[in-house]
Amino acid sequence: GAVVSQHPSRVICKSGTSVKIECRSLDFQATTMFWYRQFPKKSLMLMATSNEGSKATYEQGVEKDKFLINHASLTLSTLTVTSAHPEDSSFYICSARAPSGTANTNEQFFGPGTRLTVL
């Protein structure tokens, strides 16, 4: 159990286009999901916290109009990179927080990541 999927796993797009990345919790409901960005050979940087049915909370320095997050259901959060530029190229990883009252309460389960390349 506790599987998180991401789609697509890899995307290449032209500069100026928008790209949507999906994060799904496959076998549990996640009221909270997180989006991270990872630069080559670097650690994960938290971009935003996505709460179902409300606006995402962005970390300092992350442009909310650039990285649109929608958490429309308890199993799906989406990250849209708008008007992508080459500097947005990165590895994007989502995670979902385990439900309260379970053995894994507050643990995060990570998706496999999405490699975005902007030409």
Partner 1 sequence: AQSVTQLDSHVSVSEGTPVLLRCNYSSSYSPSLFWYVQHPNKGLQLLLKYTSAATLVKGINGFEAEFKKSETSFHLTKPSAHMSDAAEYFCVTRGGNQFYFGTGTSLTVIP
The residues that bridge with 24 in the sheet, in sequence order, are 5, 76
Q: Under DSSP, is residue 45 helix (H, G, I), strand (E, B) or coil?
A: strand
Of residues 15, 17, 26, 112, which one binds partner 1 by CB under 8 A? 112
Kindly state whether residue 49 participates in binding partner 1, applying the rule CB under 8 A. yes
Instruction: Locate 112 and state its tokens.
Output: 């496999």
The radius of gyration of the chain's CA atoms, rounded to the nearest angstrom, is 14
Kindly state whether residue 107 participates in binding partner 1, applying the rule CB under 8 A. yes
Of residues 15, 16, 106, 119, which one binds partner 1 by CB under 8 A? 106
Sequence-separated (6 or more) residues with CB below 8 Å from residue 103 = none
Kindly state whether residue 93 participates in binding partner 1, applying the rule CB under 8 A. yes
Which residue ranges make up the site for partner 1 (CB under 8 A)?
6, 32, 34, 41-44, 46, 49, 91, 93, 95, 97, 106-108, 110-113, 115
